[in-house]
Each structure stands twice: as structure tokens, then as C-alpha cells.
Structure 1
Amino acid sequence: MKALTATADDRVITFAEVAEPAPAAGQAVIAVDAFSVNRGDFFALTGVYGTDPEPGHIPGQDVTGRILQAAADGSGPAAGTRVIAHAAGGGWAERVAVTTDAIAELPEGLPATAAATLPLAGLTALRLIRRAGDLNGKRLLITGATGGVGHLVVELALATGATVTAVTATRERGQRLADFGARIITEIDETAGQFDLIMESVGGDTFTAALARLVPGGTVIWFGQAGREPIRLDFFALFGVTPFTLHHFPHWVSDRTDAEDLAELVRLAATGVIHPELGRTADWAETATVLTDLVGRRIRGNAALTIA
């Protein structure tokens, strides 16, 4: 079958003929209709996380398609079922084997391309909101708000009764979130207010500026470092917000399976609570270009690639 694989040169990925997936007993084989790409995929492919990918490795986490071969142990959806899945790699291919605890049924009413943007970004957003606890009446500041995770967090937080201030690169990029009810700022210094909760995903000076807006006793959930600059904390400068709680948030730590949370995301999308933002749709032959544009912030929200 055909797949996109990691290379050892500056092409990052290339098409290759690879072996068909060999599923374990608890895995189903999915015929992929569409997949989504994330900034983290690019970082992994370019060694940002500290290790280079093995040449021939097939990336890809976020997929939609149909079950081609049901799991041998009887778990998960039956053959022919339309599904959404969070794969542990291998998703940028015509077919992929995925454990059934990371697969959920996808209703016909949700387009494959929009749904494909939900797994990684949606699981992260849903678990961030769950980690934050009761947000009703709380004042939330979120940075990187127009990214794949950020815009879903904004919608979910608004739906739970929070007052949301979203930091975006431009007001134009933030207009969609403003339409949902968020206050849009382009610099944290634009607000003199204080916040009960900060969700920070940029790092560097942005983290420092956001922390200065926290109420004493407030909470910071740190869920990314998109600016690739480490944070800097000054013990003495923090007396104004002390005591405060800082959570380092990994999206994969959860007491619910991916399948359970994917089913919840599908329900939220189907009922209009969240609206996946599909900034670009393209054929999977354009994956390298789409990745570059996503990292360069030339795509708002998420991008999806289709396999004919």
C-alpha cells in the first residue's frame, strides 16, 4: 500500500510502498479517508523533540475512515463502520491498524475532513477543560487561542459558563472566537484585568506576561510551548500572584480512554457545541506543503488531507 514516510533529508516526508498493517488481536484495520496534521507532527519529523525519526517511519495520529478488518478479539466496531480514531502513528497511509480503545463511531452527518481534525486537538481540549474543573463564572485567559487546540478550548469553556479572553495573533484571526462570545486581544498587555485561570501554550515571554495577570491563588495550566522558547520564572516577581498552582499538562494522561472521549467529541460536534475549524483541505500529495504552512501559521485552526 501507499504511505507517507519520514526521510533522512530536508524533504521531511515522501511517498513509499509499504507493507500492509499487521493488526494485533485488539486492533482494527481502518481504510483511511482523511487525516489531520498537527504542529507536533512537524516537530517530531524535524528533531525538535530531541530525536530524529527513523527513515521509513509512518507518522500520523488523527484519522477518519471505515473499518476494513474488525479486531480479532471482538472488541470495537464491526467491519464497514464509519469511524474516527487516534492512532499511535501510521495514520498517513491508505490503511492503518489502531487499538479499539482509540476508535469511536462517526455518524454520516459529520464530514470526514472536519472530523479528522478532532482526535489530538479535541482530546487535548476536552481534557484541559476537565482538568480545569468548574469554570462557571470563572475568568479564563488563553494564549494561542486560534490554534487547533485553542479554538476548541474557547468554545468548550464558553459552553461551561466561563468568561473567556483569547490572545490571538491578529483581531481578524480571532473574529470567529469573538462571534462565539470570547473577548479578543492581540497582546496580553491590552488587558489590565486579572484571571482565575490561565491556559498557556506559547512559552517564553508570553508565559511570563500571562502569569502576571493571575489572581493570587489562581491556577495556570501549561499545555504547550508553540513558540519553542522555554519559560522563565522569577521567584521574587511572583509574590504578586502567590500562592498559585501550576499544572504541567500532558494530553495523554486521562482516566478515560481515547474511544470514550472521541465519542464525546463526536457528540459535541454533532450537537453544535463545538465547531471544528478546518483552515485547509487538500489531497494528501500536498501534506508537506500543508505542514510547512501550518507551522508558519498560514493556516487558522486545523488542516485535513484526503486520500482518494
Structure 2
Amino acid sequence: PVAGTTALRTLRHGGDLAGQQVLITGASGAVGRFQIQLARHQGGFVTAVAAARHAEDLRGLGARQVVEAIDLAEGPFSLITESVGGQSLACAIERVAPGGTIVMFGSSSGELTPVGFRQFVPDHEGARLQTFAYYTSGPGIGEDIASLLALVAAGRLETRVALTVPWTDIAQALNALRQRSFSGKAVLTITG
């Protein structure tokens, strides 16, 4: 439930998304794929940042636009979910709307991002940078998982299993994950 609940809870920081511009970095990953669908269901207009090979798939999930780099995204955006860090986060700050929110929930680039007051004023005044940490327990987690399961059952939320291998082939699954050779979840099967 980590990817689904993370997607749901990061989007909540944006408030009512109906009619709002939403930017999602790392959009081809598990959290990003859920964020696209959930933001679209809430009436948001989603721009996804991902490699070109994922563009058709992400549009199928509800992204209006797919760009390969955040500096190609047209803004401003009321909500930006940022999972890359480094230069991506620096570009996100340049694209947040006044009063908008950037939810930082990862740093897959491993790069640091210097952030200063002057980046927000005057063009992005009132914008906020919100951090979010993953968790799968605590208040409301049961309700969040139930709401996600209801969307899956109704056919309104896609969960993709992209790789299924026997438990004995765990090395194959780990290599595919490291190489980012598929978009979706890996399932290891146990027989016997």
C-alpha cells in the first residue's frame, strides 16, 4: 500500500484539485502513476515528467501533457509533487504558482538542492515547500487503503503488474528494477 497511500496523501497537500494545474515528477514510477490517476479523478489537469518512452502510457492514465524535463513544463502549477530532487526541485520552484504547494517526497537523483527565500519572492509569493515521508500505519491509513481499493474495484484506478517471476528468480527481478526496464510492480510467486 505504500505507493497508493503516498500518492493519495501527497495530493491532499494541494487541497481541492478541480480545475487546478498539477505537475508530477517521476511520473512513470509507482507513486507517480497513482498520482496521475488520482489527480485526474479529482478534476486536476496533470502534466507528467517522464522519459518519452512512457508518454503514451501516462496519457492513457490521464496526463494531459508529458514532458521529458521539468524545465519544459509550462506553468504555473498549483501543486507540484517532487520526487527527484536536485535540479528538478530547483526547476519546480520556478514553476509553482503564487500560493501553490510543492510536496517533496523523495530525492531519486541523490543531488542536493540549495533553496533560498529569494526563489519564492516576488513571483512565487505565498508558495510553500512541504515535505512528506512514507508511512503505512497511523491514523486514517485503513480508510485510505479502503478508498484506494474501492477505486480499483470500480475500475477507476489501475494497478499494473509488469513483471511476474518465481521467487527463485529474485535476482532477475532486482536487476530489472535497478535498470528501470519496466513500468509497474514486480510480483514474486511462491509455489508448493
TM-score under structure 2 length normalisation: 0.89
Give the match for residue 304 of structure 1: 187
In the alignment, structure 1 residue 153 sits paired with structure 2 residue 27:
no
- What is the letter of the counterpart of residue 180 of structure 2? R
What is the distance in 1 between the residues matched to 2:183 and 2:11?
A: 21
- What is the letter of the counterpart of residue 106 of structure 2? G
Q: Is contact 2:78–2:97 with CA below 8 Å preserved after alignment?
A: yes
Correspondence for 2:92 among 210, 214, 217 = 210
Alignment of 1:134-145 (within 5 A): 134-145=16-27
Q: Is contact 2:13–2:101 with CA below 8 Å preserved after alignment?
A: no
In the alignment, structure 1 residue 265 sits paired with structure 2 residue 152:
no
Q: Which runs of 5+ in 1 are unaligned?
A: 1-118
Correspondence for 1:192 among 62, 68, 74 = 74
Structure holding more strand per residue: 1
Correspondence for 1:181 among 45, 48, 62 = 62
- What is the letter of the counterpart of residue 241 of structure 1? H
- Secondary structure of 2:13's counterpart equals helix
- What is the letter of the counterpart of residue 229 of structure 1? E
What is the distance in 1 between the residues matched to 2:86 and 2:179?
A: 18
- What is the letter of the counterpart of residue 222 of structure 1? M
Structure holding more helix per residue: 2
- What is the letter of the counterpart of residue 206 of structure 1? S
Give the match for residue 132 of structure 2: 249
- What is the letter of the counterpart of residue 269 of structure 1? V
In the alignment, structure 1 residue 276 sits paired with structure 2 residue 159:
yes
Of stretches 263-272 and 227-236 in structure 1, the one that deviates more from structure 2 is: 227-236
Cα RMSD (Å): 1.7
What is the distance in 2 between the residues matched to 1:201 and 1:209?
A: 13
Q: Is contact 1:127–1:254 with CA below 8 Å preserved after alignment?
A: no
Give, in angstroms, the shift of residue 254 of structure 1: 5.3
Give, in angstroms, the shift of residue 138 of structure 1: 0.8
What is the distance in 2 between the residues matched to 1:215 and 1:200?
A: 15
In percent, how many aligned pairs have the same letter? 38
What is the distance in 1 between the residues matched to 2:118 and 2:47?
A: 27
Give the match for residue 237 of structure 1: 119
Alignment of 1:62-141 (within 5 A): 119-141=1-23
What is the distance in 1 between the residues matched to 2:32 and 2:138?
A: 19
- Per-residue CA deviation, residues 51-75 of structure 1 (Å, 9 max, x unaligned), is xxxxxxxxxxxxxxxxxxxxxxxxx
Give, in angstroms, the shift of residue 186 of structure 1: 0.7
In the superposition, relative to structure 1, how do residues 154 and 237 fare at CA in structure 2: closer, same or farther (>3 Å)? Answer: same
4+ residue runs of structure 1 moved beyond 3 angstroms? none
Q: Is contact 1:125–1:149 with CA below 8 Å preserved after alignment?
A: yes
Give, in angstroms, the shift of residue 181 of structure 1: 2.9
- Secondary structure of 2:6's counterpart equals helix
- Per-residue CA deviation, residues 139-182 of structure 1 (Å, 9 max, x unaligned), is 00010001011000100000000000000022x21211212331
Q: Is contact 2:75–2:97 with CA below 8 Å preserved after alignment?
A: no
